[in-house]
């Protein structure tokens, strides 16, 4: 599990550790980890050129001490001080190692820039001197120190203004991931993230991201005496004569093998198409979970009401979201930013700028699990727990992909996973299946559904290998 913590959690853990360590010991640990990550990125040391952009705080101190390590390895290190104050011991260490102070971008240009402007305590946005410095090194790869400067650590927010935050190729962070490493838009600005362990004793995380082993551990498995009903039955109420594809794709996601049976209830013309594509799908009857809303059209309120009357977990998607129930802990709401903006009566731009804030608001207001779709999908429990989906590919931005996702999540809920687990595991599988199907090329939603059994099989095979070798 990838775990991310807030600034206050990190600072409290650091203060406990610092009380037992000599002055600057923690900073030296961080600086050595940063320096080695920079060397790995450079590929060599001697004769390479690195520019440090240095702010006034400890973040700048990390960069200066790392610069001293690099200089001792043969790197030509320059420090551009963006404040009248700099970390004195860090600056002295850099200069003793042969580094130099500059007042602008050096000539010749550096091979790499280290962003030590602002640390985890910074607010969204950059001061004018920092914006000018970032503009002056445009086109040169940047390594962020702890976070790319100009983002908010606890929410992943930026100002949204061009040039008002750093766009890093790599971010080297210390002790633990911060929420901004997982949550967009800051996660995009962070690039790849490398964690340097500092030995912190940390509390429960503020956000987490499932990894393959976590997903494998949560996947439902049939036991030796399983039969189709005990494995779970998921019902699909999606699609219409106007939008038959939504029903077909919702069924395709649900029929990935994770449950014993899929039922389709809806327009007869869609049912005929579903049976032609998925002859194993049956009609109305008892279910352990429902998927409702995608392409349902005008009758969606009645369709959702009928599903909710069964008192089973219900995935509420697309058209049904405008009638989403409140206070149903077994509901899973799956909006994209536009749908969530209507649910909360706020502008879509506000959702996109503050996805975590608004996903949490929706989970609290509706009393349900909220799955906010996006590059980094957010799954938020009403009690405040957050999981971030880190799988997927830009090719997944294709019509019908959300229909497949709803089917997968519904199948997992029918198989017995709690709504929070069903939503987060379903999101992970959906993104991983898209990546497998894509192979870095274009896909359509049906490709994602067809790749799901392979992804599940690979996960279970990997988990079996781990168990057999333990």
Per-residue pLDDT at 282? 95
Question: Confidence band (pLDDT; 50, 70, 90) for 70?
Answer: very high
Q: Which of 37, 31, 38 lies closest to 68 in space, CA to CA?
A: 31
Confidence of residue 466 (pLDDT cuts 50, 70, 90): very low
Same domain for 276 and 423: yes
**Are 260 and 137 members of one domain?**
no
Which residue among 187, 206, 225 closes a domain?
206
Residues 4 and 206 sit within 8 Å (Cβ to Cβ): yes
Convert 44-83 to b/e letters by CB count within 10 Å (16 or more is b).
Answer: ebeebbbbbbbbbbbbbbbbbbbbbbbbbbebbbbbbbbe
Residues 367 and 405 in one domain: yes
Window from 152-161, 294-303, 323-332, 393-402 with minimum mean pLDDT? 294-303
Q: Which tokens belong to 372?
A: 């906010």
Q: 385: domain CATH number?
A: 3.40.1190.20
Do residues 136 and 216 share a domain? Answer: no
**pLDDT at site 462:** 84
Please state, in angstroms and rounded to a whole number, the distance separating the CA atoms of residues 358 and 157.
12
217 shares a domain with 201: no
Q: Which residue has the higher pLDDT, 86 or 465?
A: 86
Task: Read off the tokens for 130.
Answer: 């920092």
Residues ≥6 apart with Cβ < 8 Å to 437: 443, 447, 448, 450, 451
- Residue 189 pLDDT greater than 90, yes or no: yes
Q: Rounded CA gap, 359 and 371, in Å?
A: 8
Give residue for tokens 């990390």: 62
Angle at CA of residue 384, ends 382 and 389, nearest 5° = 95
Residue 397 has pLDDT above 90, yes or no: yes
Q: Which domain holds residue 393?
A: 212-469
Provide the pLDDT confidence category of residue 470 given band limits of 50, 70 and 90. very low
Round to whole Å and give the CA distance between 60 and 12. Answer: 20
Confidence bin at 125 (pLDDT 50/70/90)? very high
pLDDT in tens, 214-268: 999 999 999 889 899 999 999 999 999 889 999 999 999 999 999 999 999 998 8
CA atoms within 13 A on the CB side of 96: 10
pLDDT score, position 468: 33
pLDDT band, very low/low/confident/very high, at 298 (cuts 50, 70, 90): confident
Exposed (0-12), middle (13-18) or buried (19+): which is 167, by Cβ within 10 Å? middle
Mean confidence (pLDDT) of the chain? 95
Contact call for residues 339 and 323 (beta carbons, < 8 A): no
Nearest CA-CA partner of 446 in 414, 412, 399: 399
Count how many domains the chain has.
2
Same domain, 189 and 300: no
Summarised one tens digit per residue, pLDDT across range 146-178 is 999 999 999 999 999 999 999 999 999 999 999
> Does 224 share its domain with 184?
no
Q: For 24-59, what is each residue's pLDDT tens digit?
A: 899 999 999 999 999 999 999 999 999 999 999 899
Measure the CA–CA gap between 209 and 349, rounded to whole angstroms.
Answer: 25
What would the DSSP string read from start to end of 169-220?
A: SEEEEESSEEHHHHSTTHHHHH-EEEEEP------S-SEEE--HHHHHHHS-
Count H helices and E strands in the chain, helices first: 17, 18
Per-residue CA distances from 166 to 137, 157, 335 (Å)? 11, 13, 30
Measured CA to CA, the distance from residue 176 to residue 199 in angstroms comes to: 9
Strands 378-380, 386-388: pairing kind: antiparallel
Do 321 and 339 contact (CB within 8 A), yes or no? yes
- Measured distance CA(336)–CA(373) in Å, rounded: 5
CA 256, 260, 263, 269 dihedral sign is positive
**Which CATH number fits the domain that encloses residue 181?**
3.40.50.10260
Residues 198 and 318 in one domain: no
Give residue 180's pLDDT band: very low, low, confident or very high (50, 70, 90): very high
Sign of CA dihedral 338, 371, 448, 182: positive
- Residue that terminates a domain, selected from 174, 206, 238: 206
CA torsion through residues 435, 439, 441, 442, sign: negative
pLDDT of res. 463: 66
CA distance 359 to 320: 18
187/230 same-domain check? no
In this structure, the answer to whether residues 51 and 167 fall within a common structural domain is yes
Lowest mean pLDDT among 16-20, 258-262, 405-409: 16-20
Assess whether pLDDT exceeds 50 at residue 467.
Answer: no
pLDDT at residue 269 in the model:
84
Are 330 and 366 within one domain? yes
- Token digits of residue 405: 């996702």
Mean pLDDT of all residues in 91-101: 97
On the CB side of 38, CA atoms within 13 Å amount to 38
The confidence score (pLDDT) of residue 464 equals: 54
pLDDT greater than 50 at residue 469: no
Instruction: Assess whether 202 and 219 both reside in one domain.
Output: no
Which residue, 171, 206, 241, sits at the end of a domain? 206
Helix, strand, or coil (residue 443): coil
CA distance 182 to 205: 12
**β-sheet bridge partners, residue 143:** 114, 170
Across the range 129-151, mean pLDDT stands at 97
d(CA 420, CA 449): 21
Please tell me the distance from the alpha carbon of residue 259 to that of residue 161, in angstroms, as a whole number: 46
CA nearest to 39, candidates 165, 146, 143: 143
């Amino acid at each position: 599990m990838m775990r991310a913590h807030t600034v206050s959690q990190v600072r409290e853990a650091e203060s406990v550790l610092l009380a037992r360590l000599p002055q600057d010991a923690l900073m030296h640990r961080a600086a050595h980890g940063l320096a080695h990550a920079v060397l790995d990125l450079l590929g060599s040391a001697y004769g390479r050129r690195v520019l440090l952009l240095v702010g006034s705080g400890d973040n700048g101190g990390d960069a200066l001490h790392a610069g001293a390590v690099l200089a001792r390895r043969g790197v030509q290190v320059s420090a551009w001080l963006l404040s009248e104050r700099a970390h004195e011991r860090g600056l002295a260490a850099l200069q003793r190692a042969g580094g130099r102070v500059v007042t602008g971008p050096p000539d010749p240009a550096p091979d790499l820039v280290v962003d030590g402007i602002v640390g985890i305590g910074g607010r969204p946005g950059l001061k004018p001197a920092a914006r000018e410095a970032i503009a002056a090194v445009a086109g040169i790869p940047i390594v962020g120190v702890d976070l790319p400067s100009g983002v908010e650590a606890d929410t992943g927010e930026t100002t949204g203004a061009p040039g008002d935050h750093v766009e890093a190729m790599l971010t080297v962070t210390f002790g633990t991931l911060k929420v901004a490493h997982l949550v967009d838009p800051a996660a995009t600005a962070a690039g790849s993230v490398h964690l340097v362990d500092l030995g912190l004793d940390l509390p429960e995380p503020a956000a987490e991201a499932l990894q393959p082993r976590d997903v494998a551990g949560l996947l439902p498995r049939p036991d030796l005496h399983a039969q189709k009903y005990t494995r779970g039955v998921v019902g699909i109420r999606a699609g219409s004569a106007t939008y038959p594809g939504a029903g077909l794709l919702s069924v395709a996601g649900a029929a990935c093998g994770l449950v014993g049976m899929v039922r389709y209830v809806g327009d007869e013309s869609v049912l005929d198409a579903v049976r032609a594509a998925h002859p194993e799908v049956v009609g109305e009857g008892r279910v352990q979970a429902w998927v409702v809303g995608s392409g349902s059209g005008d009758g969606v309120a009645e369709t959702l009401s009928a599903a909710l009357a069964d008192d089973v977990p219900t995935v509420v998607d697309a058209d049904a979201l405008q009638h989403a129930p409140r206070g149903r802990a077994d509901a899973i709401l799956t909006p994209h930013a536009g749908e969530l903006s209507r649910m909360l009566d706020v502008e879509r731009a506000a959702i996109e700028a503050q996805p975590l804030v608004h996903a949490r608001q929706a989970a609290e207001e509706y009393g349900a699990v909220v799955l906010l779709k996006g590059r980094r999908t957010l799954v938020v429990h009403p009690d405040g727990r957050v999981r971030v989906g880190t799988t997927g590919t830009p090719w997944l931005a294709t019509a019908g992909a959300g229909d497949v996702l709803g089917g997968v999540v519904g199948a997992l809920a029918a198989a017995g996973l709690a709504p929070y687990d069903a939503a987060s595991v379903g999101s992970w599988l959906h993104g991983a299946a898209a990546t497998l199907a894509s192979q870095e090329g274009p896909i359509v939603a049906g490709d994602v559904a067809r790749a799901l059994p392979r992804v599940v099989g690979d996960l279970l095979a990997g988990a079996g290998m781990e168990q057999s070798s333990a």
